[in-house]
Amino acid sequence: MSEVVLYKEGALTPAQVAHLAEVPPELEWLANITNDKTRRAYKLDVGEFSQFLGLTRPEEFRTVTRAHVIAWRELLERRDLSPPTIRRKLSALSSLFEYLCEKNAVAGNPVDGVKRPMVNSNEGSTPALSDAQARRLLEAPPEDTLKGVRDRAIIATLLYHGMRREELCSLKVKDLQSRQGVIHFKVKGKRGKIRFVPAHAQAQRLIESYLLLAGHGDDNDGPLFRPVRNNRTGELDRPLNANSLYRNVVRKYGQDTGLNIEVNGLCVHSMRATAATNALSHEADIAKVQEWLGHANVSTTRLYDRRKTKPEDSPTFRVRY
């Protein structure tokens, strides 16, 4: 699918006005997805469906039937894709047709009624760390280098506040704000939603040490966490890259401490899962945790609620011979 052309500021020419009037709703749908990551994934998923059916023009989506969707689902299953992946691809297609229904371009959503693979909805698949493992990770970075001081502050911010990696990377110095006498993070979440998260005292102390050593504590409009070196351009007053956060912080110290062997699938999101699981295990209100994490639906928050699945509560440890 092609994308809607974005025009520069200023009055549109008559030709541009006419062009926008002719934009099919199939392209409007894609342009209206504000999250870049979601838009890329949905574009790929719907593009894959288009190739499967041989669709060449956006308007041809209006000929799609439920039988076409079922045939595509069966193809995805034969490719041995995971159930969550198949569900995501069907969700992308369903999102498109929901939009077409709203625009009266189609009479119904052909994805409705198409059975989707079952997934374990009782517990998330992202691994969470134990308290001891979390402490090892917090203490892993050295305290005598700028990178080490920065990385301690980053890991603490992730483990104590449950932020997404994109949220952490987009933090600016001015996003540390005092509200009612308590320092808060101003976090920009998905779909541009803003939430204020109180800063944990330990993380606040580490961030203050980092800013003092790095010397950009007065650069209010600049990024809070920055690269310590840039071999390509030398530019350091820019935000951290989300992929770099994984490679150079979480994966690095996971390897240094052996956690990448102990915890299968250790990633940045594991820090978020750890924070949420820990808060819930210590009797945090699940509605407050939902707000804290920036979840739109409490069912997502429940994936981190593992209070009923503690290993020590298993009947295994009640067996006696």
Query: Tens-digit pLDDT profile for the chain (321 aa)?
Result: 555 444 455 565 655 444 434 447 778 888 888 777 888 899 999 999 999 999 988 888 889 999 999 999 999 999 988 888 998 999 999 999 999 998 888 889 999 989 988 765 555 678 889 999 999 999 999 999 999 999 999 999 999 999 999 999 999 999 999 999 999 999 999 878 899 999 999 999 999 999 999 999 999 999 999 998 877 777 788 999 999 999 999 999 999 999 999 998 899 999 999 999 999 888 899 899 999 999 888 888 888 887 766 777 777 777 888
Pairs from 40-48 (Cβ < 8 Å, separation ≥ 24): 41/88, 41/92, 42/92, 42/95, 42/96, 43/1, 43/3, 45/88, 45/89, 45/92, 45/93, 46/1, 46/92, 46/93, 46/96, 47/1, 48/89
Residue 240 in contact with residue 223, Cβ under 8 Å? yes
Residues labelled as active-site residues: 164, 190, 269, 272, 295, 304
What homologous superfamily does CATH list for 131-308?
Intergrase catalytic core (1.10.443.10)
The DSSP letter of residue 125 is: S
Domain residue extents for the chain:
14-102, 131-308
